[in-house]
Structure 1
Amino acid sequence: KYLSDMSFVHRDLAARNILVNSNLVCKVSDFGLSRFLRENSSDPTYTSSLGGKIPIRWTAPEAIAYRKFTSASDVWSYGIVMWEGMSYGERPYWDMSNQDVINAIEQDYRLPPPPDCPAPLHALMLDCWQKDRSARPRFADLVSALDKLIRNPASLKIVAQEGGGPSYPLLDQRAPLALSPCSSIGEWLRAIKMERYEDSFLQAGFNSVDQLGQITAQDLLHMGVTLAGHQRKILSSIQTMTFQNKGTATVTF
């Protein structure tokens, strides 16, 4: 908010650029890409020259497509930082290529809620990721929204639901997964080094790889996957495969 009020655009907001001291006070760092926005219009904009590198996974679509950076593009990046924090440092969009990320955003894909993410926080992230930059909240709005949540902690007990929906349509749980080259639940779990849970998956009725899109964090808990890191690894793999699904083949165990 301070940078925005001072008419600066950071252009590289990401968890890697947030410093945290022993008192958990956070400071934004790395101003190598930051620019001052001259307020000579109602919508101050910085247009970068071609050739410079852009952190695709954190960058708003209009900034990627037209090299136009505003406070609203920083708001988009802030939403990604929120997602990084709630996912305990998971890489945004997992193992997708930068081009896949660009294509997905254009198709209105949005990152799903991390496991156990409070619904109001994911809703705030989705607000930050509005395609129309004028529809995104200002940083002052974000500060106000977060302050209200802090003062009403009970609202944070509502956990966002994972799965298909208008906010992240590419994660349609009904869509079968093209899990090539893995041909079974067991092979997939071995590929991500989670083979210890193979019997748990089978006992829970997950016998086919095309059923994986139905799994939620709650399902994993019921199957005995209680370690947060293992939950994230399994769900991240499923999210990646769901996005990469190009066909409708069904493979059984």
Structure 2
Amino acid sequence: MLSLRQVSLEVARYRWYGAKNWTSLLQDISFDVAPGQMVALVGGSGEGKSLLLQCLLDLLPDNLRFQGAITLEGKTLDNDDIRKCRGNTFSYVPQGVQALNPLLSIEKHLRRASQLSGQQWNTGKIEHLLQRSQLENRVLDAFPRQLSGGMAKRVLACHASLSQARYILADEITAWLDAPLANQLLEQLRELCDQGAGVLWVTHDLTLAARHADHIVALHQGRVSDNVSREQLLRGEISEHLQRQWRALPERNQLFGARDAVLS
């Protein structure tokens, strides 16, 4: 199990002559991601969701400092441990498609992902993976600049599939995608959960979280406001802040259709 325990983040505000004034961004953040479970980390812009993923990867910029503990199967990880986990234990799916190297074809990207995970290149497996991601085989010859945003996101998800990582850290993986593609991509992540991987997925979309996640962790004003199961969310056993967001969803409004549309 991957766990965050009493994690806090502070940002440095620089003053004259380099003096620092530290300001709190996140306080006392604790939650778990179990193998086979998809956890949605939800909250508004600027709440620090992506920063928590950067904590898990030891990628925080120098003007941020971290306190608390990150544990894996009960062992507390230091920075060296976390770096060793990158790419094998932890696979990161970034929000921006700029993460793809513009000088490499998609085939070279996927070959490298296979190599880093210790796998031999298997053409049949790759073709099946592309087909499952609704990508044609000819995409292997393309370069990132030739892909749409949705295609690039699906290629990044293919990287996660090839990594065979125990935990997938996905940052706004459905951003800029229409509903069918977003659901298809999350179903792909669900398949990885079914194979035993844990998924921590950052999202603004509470509708998608209710449809796909097993557990929802909500951030509000630098703290965890909710740490609930999908069933608790649907029953309304959530904080007043999250209830306001839930009731405001168009899918929950009778003017826009059936109340159960959020799950269809």
TM-score, normalization by structure 2: 0.25
Structure with a larger share of its residues in strand: 2
Considering Cα pairs closer than 8 Å and 6+ residues apart, tell me whether 1 or 2 has the greater RCO: 2
TM-score, normalization by structure 1: 0.26
